[in-house]
Structure 1
Amino acid sequence: MTRSDRARKRPTMKDVAQHAGVSVSTVSYVLNDSGPVAPERRSRVLDAVRVLEYTPNESARNLKLRSTSTIGMVVPELTNPFFAMVAEGVQKVASERNVLVVLVVPDATQQPEEKQAELLRSQRIDGVVYLSGTGSMPASLYRLARSGPVVLVDEQLSGMDLPAVVCDSRKGAREVAAHALEQGHRRVAVIGGPPSLWTSQQRLAGYREAFAGAGLDPDSVPVFPGDYRQATGEKLAAKALASRPRPTVLLCTNDLMAIGAMEYCRRVGLRVPEDVSIVGFDDLPVSALLTPRLTTVRQPAHEMGSRAASALFDLLENDESEALGVLPATVQLRESVCPPAEGT
């Protein structure tokens, strides 16, 4: 049995309550000696604890006993507005509970995630919200996950059974690509995200599904991997649009790279969308203010952060959470996409 299997099968307070035939609050009263419980019920609870080998969540105890608790959040960078909005969602929920948030931003410190995670692990924190910038999890943070909850946001890590709050990126990408294809585009190029990230893989998979559904060979569409930064979008747009015949639409896997692509087109005299249609992903606030306004896919960044924080607190207090899950991605149709010009 792997470490993740053991973590998944660790008995919860709810399991104890079901085994003993009592309510979860009764189990809490017995374990914390915080309320009256009949001797016969107390005995059943203690028997269930022994049989199930249940161990109380010490992080939850600390959360309830200390006047001020602390959680950590790891986010790749804050120059990307999407990451910042996720962090704001986490902060909002934490502040409502009088909980401090220790923010770790590896890109800002120029230190690797492993070193930052080790520093975070050394602090007295109750749990962590983790937004990966690498598609992997530092060993020190994984060790932390064995003693307290770690909730992923906007990412799933291969081979790790960790709770996550994500967006249905695949469906959103499929729908926005289908819209571009319905406009008549067949010369398509993709400006992708980091290949190691689950979000990048999901968006590319969604595009490819749309290509296949429209009778376009997915393998014929060139993909230019990027890093979700605006400058990279500009650089990759130059590469993509140097192809002959030139693509009539660029599918960018985030808004920042789409904005970079639009800037490149402006600089070289290509009109958007008359000469080149451009699609983004995230629906940053600025996307509706551009000229032309950007067709994109909306991810509810603030809600993703708040749901991840709520899930973290639920796991600390109850060992389970209803806040986890997949949030919808919604296509925002705007003026950066139109049918290709005749003869192109």
Structure 2
Amino acid sequence: MQQTGEKLLAKPKSQAIQARRIRPTIHDVAKAAGVSIATVSRALNSPDSVRKELRERVVAAADSMDYMADSVGKALRRQRTQIISTMLPRLADPLFSAVASAIQETLEENGYLGFVQTSGFDNSNLFDRAKRLIEHGTEGLIIFGRIDDQRLLDYCRAHQLPLLSAYSYFEKSEVPTIGFDNYLATRQLVEMLHTLGHSRIAMISGSDKGNDRQQSRIRAFRDINAELGQEPVIEFTHMDFDMADGGAALRRIMENHPETTALICNRCVIAFSVMVEARRLGITVPEHLSLTGFDDIDYAALFDPSLTTVAVPSEKIGRAAAKAMIARLETGAPLGSRRFETEVILRRSVARPRTTA
């Protein structure tokens, strides 16, 4: 009985072979479409080189059997993975996600795969995370902000791995930068407030450790105050909790510097929490305190009052960075720096300072 049972459970040889061969091959697609293997390869990898009717036939055959090209084998033959990785402080942030989305969309449009890795705000400590990306086949690295990790710089130079800094622009930089000048943008913002009559201006900044964006904005603010012979008033928030810390920073400024008539927040998310806390304290914006943000994320125009801020072309920066890296990998074109302009968007959160009797 046992023998009979085993015979009944046994599969015919043809079925066993079919079960083992789960994935269809390029030979199967060629046979189904009635074309050569070479034609299938051209139709799927270089579609413009094949007549439309023939290409559609091949694609239909491939789709009908869920054929997937052997991308691993192709990558090995070409010695290419077509993977470009982006490192950014965190994903749960409208600004960073806008830049990352533009990069990812551009990579996909050009047949590349994008890896995204969060790295925190301290760009002096990137190496370990970056090395993992490289070990998984990354051909080029796009990093948000200036790269202050010398280990990473040395490693990429030794292995000839293309490296690009996005969002922050520096005229003289070892690594090519595509972005805007944070220092100049902050000066524009402060000068706008001075033009409106504000002379008692304070700043709330995120942590500046390993963070070139905050460093540049703080330096611009200090420089203008030095030129005016004033002591700069700066309060700091924790970058991971600045949405909550902004209100506490406002209270410290109002307690220690009640003469303040305008407040610059180095991130829009800080300004949002400041606006909420100001309302709770009975401080009206902009009648008693003018308020600005930085980056002009989507919500800035929706708050009441709408937020004055620096508009940053995040999508353009992301697309330009991705295109530059693709050109480097495809044609060997050298990576170069590119500076984008910013604009101060004056909205209802800023007005002329109140006058006292």
TM-score band, normalised by shorter chain = 0.7 to 0.9
Whole-angstrom CA distance in 2 between matches of 1:185 and 1:254: 20
Preserved contact between residue 157 and residue 198 of structure 1 (Cα < 8 Å): no
Residue of structure 2 equivalent to 1:199 = 213
Q: Give 2:156's aligned amino acid.
A: L
Segments of 5+ residues of structure 2 without an aligned counterpart are: 1-73
Counterparts of 1:77 and 1:281 in 2: how far apart (Å)? Answer: 17
Is 1:236 aligned to residue 236 of structure 2? no
Amino acid at match of 1:254: R
Q: Is the 8 A contact 2:81 2:137 kept in 1?
A: no
Secondary structure of the 2:248 match is helix
The aligned amino acid for 2:232 is V
1:224: Cα distance to partner? 1.6
Within 5 Å, give how 1:1-344 maps onto structure 2.
65=78, 69-107=82-120, 113-132=126-145, 136-137=148-149, 139-140=151-152, 142-145=154-157, 146-155=159-168, 161-196=174-209, 197-211=211-225, 216-218=228-230, 220-228=231-239, 229-321=242-334, 324-343=337-356
Q: C-alpha distance in 1, partners of 2:321/2:76?
A: 17
2:189 aligned counterpart, secondary structure: helix
Give the match's secondary structure for 2:274: helix
Q: Which whole-Å deviations, capped at 9, do the CAs of 1:158-182 have from their partners, x for residues lacking one?
A: 9961111121222221111111112
Q: State the Cα RMSD in Å.
A: 3.0
Moved more, 327-336 or 199-208: 199-208
Query: CA separation of 1:118/1:328 partners in 2, compared to 1, >3 Å: closer, same or farther?
Result: same
Write the deviation string for residues 228-280 of structure 1: whole angstroms up to 9, x where unpaired. 53223222122112224331111111111111211211222211111111111
State the alpha-carbon separation in 1 of the partners of residues 76 and 189 from structure 2: 43
| Other structure's SS at 1:94 match | helix
1:256 alignment partner, SS class: helix
CA distance in 1, matches of 2:356, 2:133: 58
| Paired residues of 1:174 and 1:209 also in contact (CA < 8 A) | no
Give the distance between the partners of 1:62 and 1:212, measured in 2 at CA: 57
The answer to whether the 8 Å contact 2:178/2:338 transfers is yes
SS of corresponding position for 2:160: coil
2:86 counterpart letter in structure 1: M
**How far apart, CA to CA, are the structure 1 residues paired with 2:154 and 2:314?**
24
Q: Is the 8 A contact 2:179 2:317 kept in 1?
A: yes
How many Å separate the matches in 2 of 1:279 and 1:165? 25
**Aligned-pair CA distance for 1:207:** 3.0
Give 1:300 deviation, angstroms: 0.7
Judge which range, 136-145 or 323-332, deviates more. Answer: 136-145
Q: 1:212 to 1:138 in 2, by over 3 A?
A: closer
- Paired position in structure 1 for 2:11: none
Structure of larger gyration radius: 2
What is the DSSP-based 3-state SS (H/G/I as helix, E as strand, rest coil) of the residue aligned with 1:195?
coil
- Distance in 2 separating the partners of 1:279 and 1:259: 10
1:200 match: secondary structure: helix
What displacement does 1:72 show? Answer: 0.8
Note if contact 1:93-1:309 (Cα within 8 Å) is conserved in structure 2.
yes
- What secondary structure, in the 3-state scheme, does the structure 2 residue paired with 1:130 have? strand
SS in 1 for 2:256: coil
The structure-2 alpha-carbon separation of the partners of 1:244 and 1:198, relative to structure 1 and needing over 3 Å to count, comes to: closer
Letter of the 1:286 counterpart: Y
* Residue 122 (structure 1) shift: 1.3
The worse-fitting range, judged by mean Cα deviation, of 329-338 and 194-203 is 194-203
Q: 1:244 to 1:168 in 2, by over 3 A?
A: closer
Structure 1 unmatched ranges of 5 or more: 1-60
Shift of 1:316: 1.8
